[in-house]
Amino acid sequence: MARIDLIPVPQPPVAGSASLSLPGAPSAAPGALRGSESFGDMLSNLLSTTNDLQIRASEQSQALLSGESKNIHETMIALEKANVSFRFLNQVRNKALEAYREVQRMQM
């Protein structure tokens, strides 16, 4: 029976709450909307998330071009996340605009 040994990997210093070191990781906070959170807050959070994802997608693509990273799936995933997030943002904007116009019509 072959003997199998663990190769020791030097442990990084305890990072505490540096758990989101991977930029692509989803936010660890619970996703439930709290009752007091306004639509505006949600929208601005979504905007900032979308922006972060777009930046990351751009960085990944550049890294691929320059040869710094050849991790294809990582790049593809980053692109797709940015894409989906942006579409979602767009939909939210469209619905909000629609709702606003609806309200406008009611006032006539």
Binding site for other proteins (CB under 8 A): 2-7, 9-12, 15, 19-22, 24-31, 33-34, 37, 41-42, 45-46, 48-49, 67-74, 76-77, 79-81, 83-85, 87-88, 91, 95
Q: Which is nearer to other proteins, 5 or 103 (CB)?
A: 5
User: What separation, in Å, do the N-terminal and C-terminal C-alpha atoms of the chain show?
Assistant: 85
Q: How far is the CB of 84 from other proteins (least distance, A)?
A: 5
Amino acid at 83: N
Q: How far is the CB of 108 from other proteins (least distance, A)?
A: 23
Q: Which is nearer to other proteins, 35 or 106 (CB)?
A: 35
Q: How far is the CB of 22 from other proteins (least distance, A)?
A: 5
Q: Which is nearer to other proteins, 59 or 74 (CB)?
A: 74
For the chain, what is the largest distance between any 2 Cα atoms, rounded to a whole number of angstroms?
A: 85
25, 27, 81: which is closest to 50 by C-alpha?
81
Q: How far is the CB of 42 from other proteins (least distance, A)?
A: 5
What is the sign of the dihedral through the CA atoms of 92, 96, 98 and 102? positive
Rounded-to-integer distance, Cα 91 and Cα 64, Å: 30
CA 102, chain centre distance (Å) = 31
